[in-house]
Amino acid sequence: MHKIITLTLLVLAGSFQAQAASDGARLYARNCAACHGENGGGGLGVPLSLPSFQATVSNDYLHQTIRLGRPGRVMPTSALPDTDIDAIVSHIRSWNKAPAPQFSTTPVKGNAEHGRALYAAQCAACHGAGGEGGKGTGVTFSRPRDLPIMAPALNNPGFLAAASDSMIKKTLMNGREGTPMVSFLKQGLKEKDIDDIVSFIRSLEKISRPRHAEVLETEQAVLTVDSPYDLKTTIENVKRAASSNNFLFIREQPLSHGLAPTGQEDPRQQIIYFCNFSMLNAALATDPRVGLFLPCRITVVEQNGKVKMMTVNPKRLSKIFNNAELNTLCDEMTKHYLTIMEEAAI
């Protein structure tokens, strides 16, 4: 009887494990694969399956990273239940046979001032002078790839909350094979020096929210300018203003184009599409996801005898990308839209 119960429990345990593994794979595919690759090979996100990466991060670090994300650095926060996050972490671990490392939570003691000097000499070239990380949005996926991985932002509040001192120390000591991160022991530093660098990195917690973690705040989702002209004149004015602001007119079509039968579209809602290809290329190179709001467009609407121009507010939209590198571009684009619409209304 005992044998039967034991056997049943073993079968059930195996079944639960299989279920958890399948949940992890499903959750990973849904939430992570777009950036990190179907099998963790990386892309916009870190190559999670890289053995040297897995050898230097704990499960707790992965869990916290999924939960907290990286403010302003694309990786979003997650509202998934802890069990789901654990299932994703298990799935990530399934790509490597090596056991997950565990790290002490005891702070590393070192001389942060000395660490600052060492950091400037050894780390700043890749990780930025203030720990702001490599420029660009990870490895942009619709663009040529120059590097297998971007240098992470060490001063990012999400990173600092997820990584323990011991974990950072191990990465510094061992490096990450297959990435530009080298072993600093092999570079001639002593363990004491590495402790000093860790202390410096930890001291970055004390600085105010770094610029790269900023998210633009603005209220309006829509930019609107009233036109004193009739619909037709306003449309021509928008085209002219777009052109004088270095945008190429692409096409004009009713909002209901393709929806209503030809000839029955509402002529009082006209979209004017235009593009500055240089700006478009820069935006896509910074973050390929922005294509979602392309091409640039202004809709001219006539309602109750009044004509107005409307468009999305890129500053408002920048928030949904969680990418501080887009902030400047979105800010510029908002100004362009307003300039074009104001010029068209003169």
Partner 1 sequence: MKRTMRFLITALLLGLASATSADQLLMIRSGLSFPEAMMALQNAITTRGYKVTHVQNVDIGLTKIGYKTDQYKVVFYGKAEEIAQLTAKHPDLIPYLPLNVAIFAERDNTILVTDRPSVLADFFPDPELKNVFMHWEKDLTEIVNEVQEAR
Site for partner 1 in 87-116 (CB under 8 A): 105, 107
Nearer to partner 1, 47 or 158 (CB): 158
At CA 263, angle to CA 261 and CA 269, rounded to 5? 90
Q: Is 231 in the site for partner 1 (CB under 8 A)?
A: no
Candidate ranges 51-59, 92-100, 125-133, 308-316; the one touching partner 1 (CB under 8 A): 308-316
The correct pick among 231, 288, 338, 343 for binding partner 1 (CB under 8 A) is 288
Torsion 137-143-144-149 (CA) sign: positive
CB closer to partner 1, 100 vs 310: 310
Amino acid at 251: R
C-beta neighbour count of 90 within 10 angstroms? 19
Q: Identify the residue among 243, 267, 320, 335 touching partner 1 (CB under 8 A).
A: 320
Distance CA 203, CA 115 (A): 10
Closest CB 274 distance from partner 1, rounded Å: 11
Give every CB contact of residue 6 below 8 A, 6+ residues apart in sequence.
Answer: none
Rg (CA), the chain: 26
Pick the closer one to partner 1 by CB: 127 or 202. 202
301 binds partner 1 (CB under 8 A): yes
Contact 281, 258 (CB under 8 A): no
Size of the site for partner 1 (CB under 8 A): 71
Identify residues 143-202 at the interface with partner 1 (CB under 8 A): 143-144, 157-158, 160-161, 165, 202
52 forms part of the interface with partner 1 (CB under 8 A): no
Task: CB nearer to partner 1: give 5 or 292.
Answer: 292
Q: 146 Cβ partners below 8 Å, 6+ apart? A: 139
For partner 1, the binding residues in 1-40 under the rule CB under 8 A are 29-31, 33-35, 37-38
Q: What is the DSSP letter of 129?
A: T
Q: Which of residues 242-271 bind partner 1 (CB under 8 A)?
A: 250, 253, 255-260, 266, 269
Binder of partner 1 out of 49, 64, 171, 234 (CB under 8 A): 64
CB of 325 closer than 8 Å to CB of 70:
no
With b meaning 16 or more CB within 10 Å and e meaning fewer, what string describes 195-215? bbbbbbbbbbeeeeebebbeb
CB of 38 or CB of 230, closer to partner 1: 38
